[in-house]
Structure 1
Amino acid sequence: MTRIARRGALGALAIALAAPRLAAAQGNTIRIVVPFAPGGSTDAVARLVSPGLTQRLGATVVVENRSGAAGSIGADAVAKARPDGLTWLLTFDSHATISALLRNPPFDLMKDLDPVMLIGGSPYSIATKANKPFRNLADVIAAAKARPDAVSYGSTGNGTIGHLTMILLGEAAGVRMTHVPYRSGGLAVNDTVAGTVDMMIGSSALLLPHINGGTLRPLLQFGPQRLSGLPNTQTSTEAGFPNLIAEAWWGVFAPHGTPAPMVARMNAALRETLQEPRVQQVMTETQQARLVMSSPEEFGRFFAAEVEKWGRVVRSSGIQPD
């Protein structure tokens, strides 16, 4: 390669790497769309990382909650946004069930959004109001066997991974329980604390603050081993269900066609932000999350496997969206 050609290539690379900052400056703000109502763990993660992203991307980063239709409304808004680096989706594991759950999804799950990063995950857990009679999963199963459909549980919506996990648990334990879907983890927690539902399933990140505060009692965690924040709560394996492992996760997507340098820049900004000591502490201790901070390619492979795994459960159960 000649000196002139090398200089031209380096100049093009510099422009490409600067593209995210230039795009952000033109639009003034970068939107992180959360496809759920405020108060859940996805909203909490988005608001946790937004200050660091603001610093690193050279533009104000705002979190926009657009909930409804199993998370597809917010995801569709991002899928239809211009791929200019100004709009991103930070979503939850239930994103993997949209194509199986909705009869006519407004966008193509695998084609209209490009993976950016798998942030990390936290095992699902079941918790109940502190003054409810349930002390562990065995108590729940005994009550459900004695009164089919009388025991109720909340989740963040029909077809979410929490809901699907409870379906698998009911099948494995031979019991029927009543599902109460909510539009966000925060709403489900509120009704569980109030005693409106007998218990709820949610990410350990969502439930732990209320467990530590004494308003909720943990009954079971679906991780392969006990979390440091739930040292006295048995795992599904310990409870006799070794094949029932379920982990909540958070991931970031971009509108399809977002230039690779912009995706790389967002991935790098997320990684740097998540490695800040304060942010890392909140994620690993308060949220009880296992940080992954994957590459876009790694997230793409993980996501395809999640779509296949949980899509089978949705189809076999005949679940309909909220």
Structure 2
Amino acid sequence: MPWMKRLVAAVFLPGVFLGVFLANGPASAETYPSRPIRLLHGFAAGGAADTLSRIIADGLSKKLGQPIIVEAKPGAGGNIAADAVAKAAPDGYTLGLVTGAHAISAATYKSLAYQPAESFDMVSTLVYYALVIAVRNDHPAKSLGDLIAMAKEKPGALSFGSVGFGSTHHLAGELLNAMAGVEIVHVPYRGDSQSVTALLGGEVPVIVGTPVLLASQIQGGAIRGLAVTSPARTALLPNVPTVQEAGIQGYDVRTWAGLLAPKGTPPAIIATLNAATLEALGDPDLKQRLETAVGGEVRGSSPEEMKKLIETEITKWTGVVERAKLPKI
């Protein structure tokens, strides 16, 4: 009888039976992806993370043959989105784009609903980029040196805006405070666009922002870039000096962005996503779009390399938080 023959095959050929079962399972590499994928990020629409998400989603969609829907879940320095990814089904259909703030959260929060390194399976890094310290063009500080002198003269009188507490932007400002011996008060906003609006509207005199959003305003004369946070000047803002050029030797803050998935995602699916990501990053047009978007450099990685990066960053930023004596939230 046909059903008996199938039963005998299952008993005597368990490897074949298991292979057929996995091939038809919901998380098999053979069928993945068979429907649209969600890509979550934790920052406001229109900001750098949103821009990066949409560019890489376009590239991955072409490689994987399925739509990738970008969804912003802003707030808490990216933690709301990261928590949603950590709690999602580990089937490859929910991914997260995280930035350097992902590792910083381990240093700035008393507790998290997830572990930045252990609650995820990493896919690949995407880009590395610097930030820029800027003022409105009518601000009296013509250089970072001027700003530091003003801050020393009146401790606590100046403030700087960022994309939120616990972001790389925030910690870049706090590191400047610690290394320059000043007290510029942090004011958090919900994304890059809001901090730029606050600067132009006079709510805050200084911001630490993303070059992609500030470049046009700097080039147009509305905003003055005082310094970039990387050791070398950026291609996007070649006329803006570095913090080190202003005399703060050893200052180096570069953020990054990468893709991850919920812990327990099948290794074959992680391998598929990693291969598709690296292939997409190798496309000259997509590479140029990403680098133009952040004024940085494209750099893919293995899942293991990305996990090591996050672990190293957690150690680094924990030291910065302790040195700056920041209260944990």
Give the TM-score of the pair, scaled to structure 2.
Answer: 0.87
| Distance verdict in 2 for CA 1:70–1:231, change over 3 Å | closer
1:100-179 alignment runs, 5 A limit:
100-179=107-186
| Distance verdict in 2 for CA 1:103–1:208, change over 3 Å | same
Aligned partners of 2:181, 2:122: CA distance in 1, in Å?
Answer: 38
Query: What is the CA distance between 1:47 and its match in structure 2?
Result: 0.8
1:69 aligns with 2:76: yes
Query: What is the CA distance between 1:21 and its match in structure 2?
Result: 6.9
Query: Could you give the per-residue CA deviations for residues 107-160 of structure 1, whole angstroms, max 9, x where no partner exists?
Result: 122221111111121112111122222211011112212222121211111222
| Corresponding residue SS for 2:110 | coil
Aligned partners of 1:116, 1:310: CA distance in 2, in Å?
Answer: 22
- Which segments of 5 or more consecutive residues in structure 1 lack a partner in the other structure? none
Structure 2 residue aligned with 1:81: 88
Conserved 8 A contact 1:52-1:273: yes
Conserved 8 A contact 1:129-1:194: no
Q: Decide which of 301, 306, 326 is 1:318's aligned counterpart.
A: 326
Structure 1 residue aligned with 2:28: 19
| Distance verdict in 2 for CA 1:160–1:319, change over 3 Å | farther
Question: What is the identity percentage for the equivalent residue pairs of Structure 1 and Structure 2?
Answer: 35
| Corresponding residue SS for 1:279 | helix
| Corresponding residue SS for 1:231 | coil
Query: What is the CA distance between 1:286 and its match in structure 2?
Result: 4.2
Conserved 8 A contact 1:227-1:288: yes
Structure 2 residue aligned with 1:201: 208
**Match for 1:319: what amino acid?**
P
| Distance verdict in 2 for CA 1:214–1:262, change over 3 Å | farther
1:233 aligns with 2:233: no
1:191 aligns with 2:221: no
| Corresponding residue SS for 1:22 | coil
Query: Could you give the per-residue CA deviations for residues 41-90 of structure 1, whole angstroms, max 9, x where no partner exists?
Result: 11110011212222221211101111222221110110011110100010
Query: What is the CA distance between 1:288 and its match in structure 2?
Result: 1.1
| Distance verdict in 2 for CA 1:213–1:114, change over 3 Å | farther
Conserved 8 A contact 2:76-2:166: no
Query: Could you give the per-residue CA deviations for residues 149-197 of structure 1, whole angstroms, max 9, x where no partner exists?
Result: 1212111112222222212211222221121111211211221222321
Conserved 8 A contact 1:33-1:78: yes
| Distance verdict in 2 for CA 1:81–1:231, change over 3 Å | same
Structure 2 residue aligned with 1:244: 251
| Distance verdict in 2 for CA 1:156–1:260, change over 3 Å | same
Structure 1 residue aligned with 2:291: 284
| Distance verdict in 2 for CA 1:214–1:267, change over 3 Å | farther
Structure 2 residue aligned with 1:92: 99
Q: Decide which of 303, 306, 312 is 1:299's aligned counterpart.
A: 306
Structure 1 residue aligned with 2:9: none
| Distance verdict in 2 for CA 1:211–1:82, change over 3 Å | same
Query: What is the CA distance between 1:23 and its match in structure 2?
Result: 4.0
| Distance verdict in 2 for CA 1:266–1:212, change over 3 Å | farther
Q: CA RMSD in A?
A: 2.3
Query: What is the CA distance between 1:233 and its match in structure 2?
Result: 1.7
Query: What is the CA distance between 1:306 and its match in structure 2?
Result: 0.4
| Corresponding residue SS for 2:91 | coil
Larger Rg: 2
Query: What is the CA distance between 1:265 and its match in structure 2?
Result: 1.4
**Match for 1:204: what amino acid?**
P
Pairs aligned (count)? 310
Conserved 8 A contact 2:23-2:31: no
Q: Decide which of 35, 59, 65 is 1:52's aligned counterpart.
A: 59
Conserved 8 A contact 2:127-2:291: no
Give the TM-score of the pair, scaled to structure 1.
Answer: 0.89
Aligned partners of 2:212, 2:301: CA distance in 1, in Å?
Answer: 20
| Distance verdict in 2 for CA 1:209–1:320, change over 3 Å | farther
- Return structure 1 stretches of 4+ with deviation > 4 angstroms: none
Structure 2 residue aligned with 1:275: 282
Conserved 8 A contact 2:117-2:310: no
